Amino acid sequence: MPLIRSISGLRATLGDSLTPSIVADYTAAFSALQPQGPIVVGRDGRPSGTWIADVVLGTLRACGRTVHMLDLVPTPTVQLFTEHSDAAGGIAITASHNPAPWNGLKFIGADGVFLDAAQNDALWHHVDNRLFVLSADQQSGNVVHVDNAIERHISTILGLSVVQRAPHANGKRVVVDAVNCSGSFIVPKLLERFGYTVIPLHCDGSGIFPHVPEPTAENLTGLGEAVREQRADFGIAVDPDGDRLVLYDEHGEPIGEENTIALATAAVLAYGNTGPVVVNYSTTRVVDDVAAAAKQTTYRAPVGEINVVRRMQNVGAVIGGEGSGGVIYPACHYGRDAMVGIGLVTALLRLKAVTMSAAVAELPRYDMIKTKMTLDHRAAIGPLLDECRKAFADAIIHDDDGLHAAWTDRWVHVRASNTEPIMRIIAEAPSFEEAQRLIARVTDLQERSA
């Protein structure tokens, strides 16, 4: 597979496009663009992350940088540590939910958020034109091994006002599937601090995936079975780098990844600060309805964490995120964070004294369909978007991220993926059949525009 450069950083397959020289080049270019100061580094647990970390650390030292090495931690832990320290930036070694042959680098600015489009373009330009130098005269930097990053992350979440208001869990039982990666230690520890009894499932930190790592219902059948077998109160799954949270109810049924941000939003607006909410174009309308019930406005942004963050900063949002299970709570830090999501959603359950299924039953109901098609290159989607723009003339159109067409109670979003060579088509409507019809309209237009 080719090297994929996007708003989400750098991803590639091992031994193909991801080599030590590639890792060194991007690391050196990133260092050249950051202000003076240490660089924070962490990895998600994939076995390949160990040699990549060696290359990243060696390159940063050759650039004269001090490195704060957090080692096996979630990406949001790297972000939080960077934001709340004197660091000049951070690098998270991860391919997020991509399969085992993949790994990559996520680049983090001194403010703890991912690089935006302009900053990424500058980074790609520096790499492509080799605008960085490893000088033989450069004094080597030092590596500082940080062993309390997870505890600092947990303490920050425990200090959130919404979390502090919630009563003790009194031993309620939770099954945790951390796909043997970066959430293996922090998620159980956090839940135990809330008073839950944790039943670990795939939490050994080995980085060996026990199933396909993307936290979808088809990949998490074992979690549902474990919740039922253990008679647990709910189940939790996170992706390899700990920025996506998926929840299962007490019956071992997935509540739907879209409902993670909806429940977190309900928690903040009911028990924390009120204010605007920001989600991306592909996120459920349930969030809009939850915000409207609290007399708050929901704004939308292009897919990509940094796009949501920048919009949140612009409108002063109190919470934001993405429907893939990503929760961004500025009171903690500006980044998708499964642990923050756990803190907010479990606080909601304890404050309302309800089960997971009861909390979900209080949310409005829509049906969403997500499909994808292979895409040779991003430009190939252009003719389809033109056809959609004409066909959906009666909708409110946003075209800063593919094409998003919205009506009063339904929407469809067509876009090229930031991280994979595919086109995504997502539709939501009051019924499955109505969502299907929206998808069918787009696929018909695709056949005509091909």
Residue 226 pairs in a beta bridge with none
What confidence category does residue 81 fall into, taking pLDDT thresholds of 50, 70 and 90?
very high
Give percent of the chain above pLDDT 90. 91
* pLDDT value for 213: 97
Could you tell me the two tokens for 363? 């949310």
Mean pLDDT of the residues in the chain? 96
Instruction: Characterise 208 by phi-psi region: left (phi > 0), alpha (psi -120 to 50), beta (else).
Output: beta
Give percent of the chain above pLDDT 70. 98
Where does 152-248 sit in CATH, by number?
3.40.120.10
* pLDDT value for 1: 66
SS3 of the chain: the string is: CCCEEECCEEEEEECCCECHHHHHHHHHHHHHHCCCCCEEEEECCCCHHHHHHHHHHHHHHHCCCCEEEEEECCHHHHHHHHHCCCCCEEEEECCCCCCCCEEEEEEECCCCCECCHHHHHHHHHHHHCCCCCCCCCCCCCCEEECCCHHHHHHHHHHCCHHHHHCCCCCCCEEEEECCCCCHHHHHHHHHHHHCCEEEEECCCCCCCCCCCCCCCHHHCHHHHHHHHHHCCCEEEEECCCCCCEEEECCCCCECCCHHHHHHHHHHHHHHCCCCCEEEECCCCCHHHHHHHHCCCCEEEECCCHHHHHHHHHHHCCCEEEECCCEEEECCCECCCCHHHHHHHHHHHHHHHCCCHHHHHHCCCCCEEEEEEEECCCHHHHHHHHHHHHHHCCCCEEECCCCEEEECCCCEEEEEECCCCCEEEEEEEECCHHHHHHHHHHHHHHHHHHC
Residue 56 has pLDDT above 90, yes or no: yes
CA distances to 182, 290, 318, 354 from 362, in Å:
32, 10, 22, 11
Residue 2 has pLDDT above 90, yes or no: no
d(CA 341, CA 258): 12
* pLDDT value for 380: 81
CB 207 within 8 A of CB 73: no
* pLDDT value for 297: 98
Where does 4-147 sit in CATH, by number?
3.40.120.10
Question: How much is the average pLDDT of 308-324?
Answer: 98
d(CA 55, CA 175): 36
Single-letter amino acid, residue 240: P
**Would you kindly state where each structural domain of the chain is located, as residue ranges?**
4-147, 152-248, 258-361, 367-449
What confidence category does residue 140 fall into, taking pLDDT thresholds of 50, 70 and 90?
confident
d(CA 412, CA 406): 7
* pLDDT value for 136: 62
* pLDDT value for 277: 99
Residue 139 has pLDDT above 80, yes or no: no
Q: Please, which residues have CB within 8 angstroms of residue 16's CB and are 6 or more apart in sequence?
A: 1
Phi then psi dihedrals of residue 181, to 5 deg: -120, -145
Residue 294 has pLDDT above 80, yes or no: yes
* pLDDT value for 134: 75
CB 292 within 8 A of CB 285: no
* pLDDT value for 417: 85
The number of residues in the chain equals: 450
Q: Are 4-147 and 258-361 equal in CATH topology?
A: yes
Whole-model pTM: value is 0.95
d(CA 319, CA 331): 9
Where does 258-361 sit in CATH, by number?
3.40.120.10
Q: Among 98, 117, 97, 115, which Cα is nearest to 106's?
A: 115
Q: Please, which residues have CB within 8 angstroms of residue 354's CB and are 6 or more apart in sequence?
A: none
Instruction: Characterise 304 by phi-psi region: left (phi > 0), alpha (psi -120 to 50), beta (else).
Output: left
What confidence category does residue 135 fall into, taking pLDDT thresholds of 50, 70 and 90?
low
| Least-confidence region, from 44-53, 78-87, 413-422 | 413-422
CB 276 within 8 A of CB 315: yes
We find that the CATH architecture of domain 367-449 is: 2-Layer Sandwich (3.30)
pLDDT in tens, 337-346: 999 999 999 9
pLDDT in tens, 230-247: 999 999 999 999 999 999
CA distances to 260, 325, 329, 367 from 320, in Å:
11, 11, 7, 21
Strands 197-201 and 173-177: parallel
Residue 100 has pLDDT above 80, yes or no: yes
CB 277 within 8 A of CB 291: yes
CB 322 within 8 A of CB 308: yes
